[in-house]
Chain A
Amino acid sequence: MGGLLAPQMILAAGILGVLGAGMAAFNPKFIKSLMVLAILGAFAIAFGARPGVGDALVSLDGIGFSWQLVFYAAALPLAFLMTAESEVAPALVLGSLLGLGLLAVSANLLMLFIGLELMSLPAYLLVARSRGGAKTAVEAAIKYFFAGGAAGGLYLLGLALYYFTQKTMSFAGAGSLGAEAGVALMGSAALFKVGAFPLHFWLPDVYEASDPELAGFLSTALKAGGILLLMRLAALSPAGPFARALPWFGAATMLFGAVLALRQERLQRLLAYSSMAHAGNIILGVGAWAALGATPGAAVAVFFYLAAYLFMNNGAFSFLKASGAKTRADLRGLGARSPKTASAFAVLLLALGGVPPTAGFLAKLLIFWEAFKAHLYAPLLLAALGALLALGYYLALLKDLYFEDAPAVEPQLEPGRGLAVLWTCAVPAAVLGVAPWILTYMSRLLAL
C-alpha cells in the first residue's frame, strides 16, 4: 500500500518541505523550485507505478494510473508560471494536487469524497489570492466556495442514500431505486465540479477572475478530476438513468458554452466558455463510454481528449500570460508585432477548434466515434453543431491576430513570462494529432 501511495507521499512531503522552507524564510525562488521538484517527482513515480494493486480503500487501476499522469502534468504550467512571493501558494497547489492524486487511487465512495474536498479547498484559496487578492477574485472565490460546498453537500446526500440501500461504500453497483437516486445525486456533484450546463453558473466568473495560469490549472487538472469522479459514478450503473442522461448533459453543455463564447469580448471569459464547450464534449464521451459498458480499456477516447486538452488549454492561458492581451481588441495586429507568440497561439486555436491534423481534431473524432458506436445519434448531432459553432469564435480570434489592422493607438500590453510554456504546449497540441502510435501506447497502458 505504501508503494501505491508513493506519489501522494511525495506531494505531502513537498507540502511540509515548502511550509518548512517558508518558516525558515528561504528565498521564494527556492520554495517554488521545491514545489516543481515535488510535482516532477510525483509524476515520475506515478509513471513508474504498475496498476493492479490495492485494498478496499485505495487501489490503482488503468484509469487511475493514466488520470494521475494528467493531473500532475496539468499542474506543471501553473507551477512554472505562478508568482509566488511566499510559501502559501506553492503549498496550496501541492495540496490541491494531493487531493487529485487521492481521487485517482480511491476505490471507495468516501475516499472519493475526501479527494474531492481536498482538491477543491485549496483551489478556492488560490482563486481568492489571484491578481494580488483583487475584489473580483475574492468575489469569484466566494461564489466558487458556495458552489463547491453545495456540490459537497449533494455528494454526501447521495452517498447516504447509496449506503442506506447498498449497505456499503465501496463500488458495489446500483440496481435499486434508492441506489440509483444516490448515484444521480453524487453525479450532480461531479457535474457541478465539471461545470456542466445547468450547474455551470460559477464557472465563467471564477475563470475570469483567476490568474491566467491558475485558470489553466482549474480548467485542465480540476476538470479532469471531476471527469474521473463522473466516470467512477457512471461505472456504478452504466445502464442507469444517470449514465443515460450524461450524453444529453454533454450536448447541452457543449451548445451552451459555444453559443455564449461567441459573444465574448474579454479573452479570459471567452476561454472560460470555450472550456465549458470542451467539458461538454468530454461528458458526451463519458456517456458513450458508460453506454458501451464502462470497461477501463474503452476509456481511451476520454483520456486522449483530456491529454490533448491539457496542452491546448494550458497553452492558451499561458498565451494570455505571455502576451498580456486581455480583450479581443488587444489581439488586432499582434501577428505582425510579435509573430512568435502569435503563431503559437494560432496553432493552439486551430487545435482547440478541432481543425485537422491537430490533436484537437483527433480528440473530437474519437469522442464522436464512441458516441456513434453507442448509437447516441441525437446528442452526437447537437455536439457536432456545437463544434461547428465553436469554430466560429476560434477562427474569429485567428482573424483578429492576422487579418485585422492594428488599432491607431497600439494597446499597451504587459507581456509576462510564459513563452516557453506556450511553445511546450503548442507543439504537442499539433503533434499528438499526427502521431497515432502515442494513442496505441496509451491504450496499452489503460488495458493493463
Chain B
Amino acid sequence: MNHLSAIAIVIDLVLVLGLTGFFANANRLLGPHPVHEGDADIPFETGERPIDSAVDKMSVLYHRFAVLFVVFDVDLAFLMPWALCRGSLTGTLVVSMTVFTGLLFFMLAYFWRKGVLECR
C-alpha cells in the first residue's frame, strides 16, 4: 500500500463520518424546534388518552390468536403469485392451488371444531 491509498482511506473515513454525523443531527441543527405542550408527547395523537401503559402483561390466550393470524396470513401470501398470473394458469396449477386452499379450509375447520377460535 502506498501513501496515496492511505490518504484516500483517510479522506474516505472523514467523508463517511462527516456525512453520517451531519445526517444524524441534521434535524437538530436545521429543523424547527418543537414545543412540547398539550397532547404532543402521547404515543398516539388520536385525541384519545391512553388508559394504560403499552408495556404491560397480556393474557397468554391472545398469543394463540396472534399465532393463528400469522399462520393464515403467511399461507395467504402464497395465493398472491397465483392470483397475479391468473391469465396463464394451466390445469395442474389450478388443481394444486385448489387443493392448497382446501387444506387451509380444512385447518380452519379443525381449529373451529377444537374450540381454538372461541374467546375465553
Chain A residues within 8 Å of B42, by CB: none
Shortest A287–chain B CB gap in Å is: 40
Decide if A19 is an interface residue (CB 8 Å cutoff). Answer: yes
Shortest A347–chain B CB gap in Å is: 44
Shortest A9–chain B CB gap in Å is: 12
Q: Which of B14-22, B53-61, B106-114 contacts A (4 or more CB under 8 A)?
A: B106-114
A86 (CB) vs chain B CBs: closest residue: B114
Chain A residues within 8 Å of B113, by CB: 23
Q: Write the residues of chain A forming the contact surface with B, with a CB cutoff of 8 angstroms.
A: 16, 19-20, 22-23
Q: Write the residues of chain B forming the contact surface with A, with a CB cutoff of 8 angstroms.
A: 103, 106, 109-110, 113-114
In the assembly, what is the distance between CA of A23 and CA of B109, in Å? 9
A25 (CB) vs chain B CBs: closest residue: B113
Shortest A166–chain B CB gap in Å is: 27
Dominant secondary structure at the A interface? helix
Chain B residues within 8 Å of A23, by CB: 109-110, 113-114
In the assembly, what is the distance between CA of A22 and CA of B113, in Å? 10
In the assembly, what is the distance between CA of A272 and CA of B114, in Å? 36
A12 (CB) vs chain B CBs: closest residue: B103
User: Apart from A16-B106, A19-B106, A23-B113, what are 8 other A-B pairs with CB-CB below 8 Å?
Assistant: A16-B103, A19-B110, A20-B106, A20-B110, A22-B110, A23-B109, A23-B110, A23-B114
B107 (CB) vs chain A CBs: closest residue: A19
Shortest A1–chain B CB gap in Å is: 11
Shortest A23–chain B CB gap in Å is: 5
A-B interface pairs (CB < 8 A), number: 11
In the assembly, what is the distance between CA of A16 and CA of B110, in Å? 10
Chain A residues within 8 Å of B109, by CB: 23
Shortest A407–chain B CB gap in Å is: 45
In the assembly, what is the distance between CA of A19 and CA of B113, in Å? 11
A23 (CB) vs chain B CBs: closest residue: B113
- What are 11 A-B interface contacts by the 8 Å CB criterion? A16-B103, A16-B106, A19-B106, A19-B110, A20-B106, A20-B110, A22-B110, A23-B109, A23-B110, A23-B113, A23-B114
B106 (CB) vs chain A CBs: closest residue: A16
In the assembly, what is the distance between CA of A295 and CA of B110, in Å? 46
B114 (CB) vs chain A CBs: closest residue: A23
In the assembly, what is the distance between CA of A353 and CA of B2, in Å? 67
A91 (CB) vs chain B CBs: closest residue: B110
Shortest B110–chain A CB gap in Å is: 6
Chain B residues within 8 Å of A19, by CB: 106, 110
Shortest A37–chain B CB gap in Å is: 20
In the assembly, what is the distance between CA of A22 and CA of B115, in Å? 13
In the assembly, what is the distance between CA of A16 and CA of B99, in Å? 12
Shortest A391–chain B CB gap in Å is: 49
Closest 8 CB pairs of A and B: A23-B113, A23-B110, A19-B110, A16-B106, A23-B109, A23-B114, A19-B106, A20-B106
Shortest B74–chain A CB gap in Å is: 14
Chain A residues within 8 Å of B110, by CB: 19-20, 22-23
Shortest B11–chain A CB gap in Å is: 31
In the assembly, what is the distance between CA of A377 and CA of B78, in Å? 53
In the assembly, what is the distance between CA of A20 and CA of B109, in Å? 10
In the assembly, what is the distance between CA of A419 and CA of B31, in Å? 80
Shortest B114–chain A CB gap in Å is: 8
B111 (CB) vs chain A CBs: closest residue: A23
B112 (CB) vs chain A CBs: closest residue: A23
In the assembly, what is the distance between CA of A22 and CA of B106, in Å? 12
B113 (CB) vs chain A CBs: closest residue: A23
In the assembly, what is the distance between CA of A112 and CA of B1, in Å? 45
Shortest B27–chain A CB gap in Å is: 37
